[in-house]
Amino acid sequence: MDQHTRPATEATDARPGPARRSVLGTVAAGAALAALPGGLAACTSSEGAGAPPLEGPLSEADLAAVLPAYQPLTLVEPDIPGVDGSTPGYTTMPAALVKAVDGVPGSGGTYTAMTPAWWTSPPGLDSNAYYQAVNEALGATVEFQVTDGVTYGDKLQAVLASPDDVPDWVVIPTWNVPPRFDQGVTALFADLTDHLAGDKVLKYPNLANLPTDAWKYCVFNGRLYGLPYPGELVGNAIFYRRDIFGQLGLAAPTSPDELLQVAKDATSESARRWGCEDLWDGAQMMFGSGADWHLQDGKLLSRFETEAYRNALEWNRELFASGAVHPDAVAGNTQQGKDRFEAGQTLIAYDGLGGWHEALARVLPSNPTFEQHPLDWFGPDGGEPILFKGQPVSIFSFIKKTDDTAAIEEMLSLANFIASPFGSEEFQLVNYGVEGVTFERDAAGAPTLNDRGLNEVTSTYGFLVNAPVVNAKVQFPQYVRDFCEWMARQAPHVTEPVFYGQQIQDPSQYSSLGKPFDDLAKDIARGRKDISALDDAITTWRNSGGDELRAYREKFLTGDETS
């Protein structure tokens, strides 16, 4: 699993404010399951646990046999259509909402569901009007077990290590997929292939509306197990304070050199203003090393071995040496980076796209002139960038293995309801609850969560499965236009990274191989080590298992990648 590509914020942009997660890029995977008593590995040793992990890509024919058919569904035409896979946008509410699901999908079942939360956990079912309203519409009861997102990986592993304690429905962020999960998924979770493959999915039209790439990422060991939460084409950006740039007469940079210069020009210690936050992740994207693996001249390289990575390190070292990085960021305090940026103490910051509208919601009421905007991505020389497509799924969910086929089908019917697209009554209910109870409408008719809604409505149902990505933040029509136009400009530069969409779990003995490079990048940026230290780190990586990991990964290269 490529951990380097995990999103910094929630990928899709059609969810209400409190359902966002702006700290996810800092969440680390927990300890290996094999270290736990009775861990996931134990689940795979029993007779009949399922197919062994694959060690190579599925053929196109085998993959096609397990994937759901794609049947696009547009209830309301977007105000801003997508371009080359970019995000479509809605700047206004439709005149009338459409009903996306006929009748009541459930038949009275009760199911437990484990989900993360990177915010205050909502009240339980007994005192949560939102849960009660959605469950009533579902015709079934979903009882959520909400767990702190920061420690979710550890909690998840403990739960999966005790099969009897696994809830009926389990949400797993892609960066929290535990080691050896491909060995245990067949033992713990229901194989959905025979329920959803091919035209069988047409029984669930909202699930058939989900993109094929998202379903591909839900295939483990040649069978379909997960339900997807689709991700953005591009998930991250370098933002700048366009309002303050205008006040200072600064132009938006169009190359790494210009970015370095404008960060220095914006810095004024007497004014308590610095050019930027730590831009290391952005530097890797600028220089084209934003993917974990690269093919160069037919050879598979880790990103650490590429010239692009070295050049990003050198640029970042120069940025830190310039004095343009806020002292707290230099000291490693990234948690307050958003606060510094929004207060104008720093003018440039790297973030997930989800942080954009979150900032507008937080800051505009007290500062109506606040304006943050993403830079168009550029390459090392200011030319065209090389952007790597984000993984097609940021989160998925799994249904517990059971012989009760009716229960699986009922949960899939609930998932079909939850995945209803924008413009439907079901979408509004799942994302905002009930008008007059958890949300009101603003002057433009857009739903806005009230105090009760802010307390109760979060991404619980939405994490189980979600509709295709759209930007439907109609409360901020100019933001929607800016977002969709920005995404459309980036889309032509997006390419699929090596192993795109494949479910590959590296052997657990290699799980910490990349950790020394994280520390080394910090040391080089702050002048504690010279760039030459990278050569020694690469040699150590290769001798400590990097070459073996490369050989393992090479088994998954397809003919298209090597040609």
Would you say residue 19 has pLDDT above 70?
A: no
Mean pLDDT of 132-153: 97
Secondary structure element (H or E) that encloses residue 548, with its range: helix 547-554
Superfamily classification of domain 15-72+103-233+393-469: Periplasmic binding protein-like II (3.40.190.10)
Q: Nearest Cα to 173, choosing from 43, 68, 28, 31?
A: 28
Q: Are 422 and 472 in contact (CB under 8 A)?
A: yes
CB 399 within 8 A of CB 190: yes
Compute the average pLDDT of residues 417-431: 97
Backbone angles phi, psi at 113, to 5 degrees: -140, 130
Q: Are 109 and 517 in contact (CB under 8 A)?
A: no
The torsion angles phi and psi of 342, rounded to 5 degrees, stand at -70, -25
- Given the DSSP bridges, would you call strands 393-399 and 439-441 parallel, antiparallel or unpaired? unpaired
pLDDT value of position 166: 96
pLDDT digits (tens, 9 = 90+) for 94-119: 989 999 999 999 999 999 999 999 89
In angstroms, the CA 524 to CA 314 distance is: 8
- 3 versus 128: which is more confidently predicted? 128
Distance, in Å, from the CA atom of 24 to the CA atom of 70, rounded to the nearest integer, reads 30
Count Cβ atoms below 10 Å from residue 314 Cβ, excluding itself. Answer: 15
Any idea where the domains of the chain sit in the sequence?
Answer: 15-72+103-233+393-469, 236-388+521-562
pLDDT, the chain, mean: 89
pLDDT at 488: 97
Write down the pLDDT at residue 563: 53
String of b and e for 272-286 (b: at least 16 CB within 10 Å)? ebbbbbbbbbbbbbb
- Range name among 9-13, 218-222, 223-227, 245-249 with the lowest pLDDT average: 9-13
Contact 379, 217 (CB under 8 A): no
Question: Which element (helix H / strand E) includes 239?
Answer: strand 236-241
The whole-number average pLDDT for the span 499-517 is 90
Ranking 29-43, 68-82, 184-198 by mean pLDDT, the lowest is 29-43
pLDDT of residue 161: 92
Euclidean distance between the first and the last CA atom of the chain, given in angstroms as a whole number: 24
Who's near 536: CB < 8 A, 6+ residues apart?
Answer: none
CATH H-level, domain 236-388+521-562: superfamily: Periplasmic binding protein-like II (3.40.190.10)
Largest Cα separation within the chain, whole Å, is 70
Is-same-fold flag (15-72+103-233+393-469; 236-388+521-562)? yes
- pLDDT tens string 337-365: 999 999 999 999 999 998 999 899 899 99
Q: Strand, coil or helix: what is 397?
A: strand
Distance CA 91, CA 79 (A): 6
Exposed/middle/buried for 89, CB within 10 Å: 0-12, 13-18, 19+? buried
pLDDT tens digits, 315-341: 999 999 999 999 999 999 988 999 999
Beta bridge partners of 236: 352
Mean pLDDT of 52-69: 84
Structure token pair of residue 435: 């008008």
Taking residues 530-547, what's their average pLDDT? 97
